[in-house]
Amino acid sequence: MKREILLWDETIFKDREVLEFDHLPEHFAHRESQMESLKFCVRPAFQGGRPVSALCLGPPGTGKTTAVVKLFSEIEAHSSKVVPVHVNCQMDHTRHAIFLRIYSKVLGHSPPSSGVSFKRVLERIARTMSKEKRVLVVALDDVNYLFPEKEVDRVLYTLLRAHETFPGFRAGVIAILSEPALSYVFDPRVGSVFQAEEVSFPLYSIEEIRDILGRRAMLGFYPGVVSEDIIERVSDLTERAGDLRVGIDLLKRAGMEAERRASRTISDEDVDQAYERSRLVHLQSALKPLREDELLLLRMVAEMETSKAGDLYERFQAATGSGYTRFHEILNKLDAARLIDTDFSGPGHRGRSRVVRIRYDPKEVLDRVKPKENI
Ligand SMILES: Nc1ncnc2c1ncn2[C@@H]1O[C@H](COP(=O)(O)OP(=O)(O)O)[C@@H](O)[C@H]1O
Ligand SMILES: [Mg+2]
């Protein structure tokens, strides 16, 4: 009979790697139509034409990065005439950094010196690509990191108009955005060249979550470690958080909790224990892209716990001098990012009597959103 107790050198994990966020799942279900749309956009490039640009929109953890990485690996397996470059804009957030990354991909090595001018970098990329009749497809992942200083305009403008200076150069862009309430307005000169197909990535349904997490658990753990009930519990918690990464993190941490108890199976308590940490996966990533005034308003909501939008606006206005439009915009954005809840309540009143609540333990938010130091 199988022992219930795990020996110190035993593990319940069959493959830990599949429980990491950056694991590329072999089976990518429930995103067929999005993959089709992206393929449609890239298709002209295989005949040497200019790809259709795309804009992938959807909350965090809905498979946007995975879709593009999958697409790019299919492209690379299929043809060397199309050169896909995946840019993580959180890491490469200037035009120069992005073009250095493209350069390395196209030329197969970094530029000879780091002091090389932008013009030279662009010229080498464009001339190499057009000489070899290859077409560039650049994914700008988490493109909101290029919004400050309007860097995104410069990047798009350069990529999509370079053919005017370098005839024969072809490039397409796939922009990826997790902010549901996009408030960025492109420069008109960019707007005329960046006419993107919108590809939307909605939240996964509970059935889809169950399917994806069940498969992940099957690959990650030995048989018998995770029961159907546990998958159910993990899926419910994941749906509530609205981010698939919570579920993947939850499986991993619950597994670690079980091992801590030297158990061969994951229990409800292991999941609940793990959830204390895993649910913050979403908080952490939701906070990352917020701007200063957005963080300030979030802090105010957390401090007041429950407040009327009108009272909140007075405090916000006093602190920033911003008007109601901006206030309203941020409120919607924080709501869409699932950081706060805004209910309409109070008969006959709208807008300012909205009740605003923080969705997390206020302390957890306040710990992570520090006020700016007064210098
Ligand atoms: N349809 C899916 N099937 C399997 N795993 C998925 C699916 N969608 C997302 N994932 C997994 O969920 C996590 C988050 O996906 P990701 O593509 O990074 O989301 P996004 O870029 O939209 O924030 C990743 O670990 C990814 O492997
Ligand atoms: Mg992503």
Residues 258-296: pLDDT tens digits? 999 999 999 999 999 999 889 888 788 778 878 899 999
CB of 124 closer than 6 angstroms to any ligand 1 atom = no
CB of 30 closer than 6 angstroms to any ligand 1 atom = yes
Q: Which two tokens stand for residue 295?
A: 């963080």
Q: What is the DSSP string of 98-123?
A: HHHHHHHHHHSS--S-TT--HHHHHH
- Please say if the pLDDT value at position 94 is more than 80: yes
- Please say if the pLDDT value at position 72 is more than 70: yes
Q: How many Å apart are CA 172 and CA 160, to the nearest integer?
A: 7
Q: Which atom of ligand 1 is nearest to the CA of 56?
A: 22
Of residues 114 and 130, the one with the higher pLDDT is 130
- Mean pLDDT, residues 90-106 taken together: 93
Domain boundaries, the chain: 16-21+204-284, 32-200, 290-368
- Mean pLDDT, residues 66-79 taken together: 96
- Mean pLDDT, residues 20-47 taken together: 96
Q: Tell me, what's the pLDDT at 186?
A: 80
Q: Distance from the CA of 237 to the center of ligand 1, in angstroms?
A: 16
Given a contact cutoff of 8 angstroms between Cβ atoms, the answer to whether 189 and 152 are in contact is no
- Please say if the pLDDT value at position 232 is more than 80: yes
Which of 141, 244, 250 gets mutated to test ligand 1 (max ligand atoms within 8 A of its CB)? 244
- 186 CB-contact burial (10 Å; exposed 0-12 / middle 13-18 / buried 19+): middle
CB of 21 closer than 6 angstroms to any ligand 1 atom = yes
Q: Distance from the CA of 97 to the center of ligand 1, in angstroms?
A: 26
Q: Which two tokens stand for residue 113?
A: 């010196």
Q: Which atom of ligand 1 is nearest to the CA of 201?
A: 22
- Please say if the pLDDT value at position 129 is more than 60: yes
Q: Which two tokens stand for residue 41?
A: 């956009």
Give the other-Cβ count within 10 Å of 119's Cβ.
9
pTM: 0.82
Tens digits of residue pLDDT in 167-191: 999 999 999 998 655 556 788 888 8
Tens digits of residue pLDDT in 296-336: 999 999 998 788 899 999 999 999 999 998 998 888 778 76
Please name every residue paired with 140 in a beta bridge, in sequence order, or none if there are none.
Answer: 87, 175
- Name the band, by pLDDT with cuts 50, 70 and 90, for residue 60: confident
- 339 CB-contact burial (10 Å; exposed 0-12 / middle 13-18 / buried 19+): buried
Q: Which ligand sits closest to the CA of 64?
A: 1
Q: Tell me, what's the pLDDT at 374?
A: 43
Q: Distance from the CA of 142 to the center of ligand 2, in angstroms?
A: 7
CB of 215 closer than 6 angstroms to any ligand 1 atom = no
Q: Tell me, what's the pLDDT at 171?
A: 97
The whole-chain average pLDDT of the chain stands at: 90
Q: Distance from the CA of 326 to the center of ligand 1, in angstroms?
A: 32
Residue nearest atom 18 of ligand 1, based on CA coordinates = 65
Whose CA is closest to 70, among 23, 103, 102, 16? Answer: 23
Give the other-Cβ count within 10 Å of 236's Cβ.
15
Q: Highest-confidence range of 129-138, 147-156, 341-350, by mean pLDDT?
A: 129-138
Q: Tell me, what's the pLDDT at 3?
A: 67
What angle is formed at CA 338 by the lines to CA 333 and CA 343, rounded to 5 degrees?
A: 80
CATH level 3 topology of 16-21+204-284: Helicase, Ruva Protein; domain 3 (1.10.8)
Lowest-confidence region among 8-22, 94-108, 135-149, 347-361 = 347-361
Domain 32-200 has CATH 3.30.300.30: no
Q: Tell me, what's the pLDDT at 126?
A: 97
Of residues 65 and 353, the one with the higher pLDDT is 65
- Please say if the pLDDT value at position 67 is more than 80: yes
- Please say if the pLDDT value at position 66 is more than 50: yes
CB of 28 closer than 6 angstroms to any ligand 1 atom = yes
DSSP designation for 357: E
CATH level 3 topology of 290-368: Arc Repressor Mutant, subunit A (1.10.10)
CB of 244 closer than 6 angstroms to any ligand 1 atom = yes
DSSP-H helix ranges across 184-343: 188-191, 206-220, 228-241, 244-260, 268-278, 280-287, 292-304, 309-320, 324-336
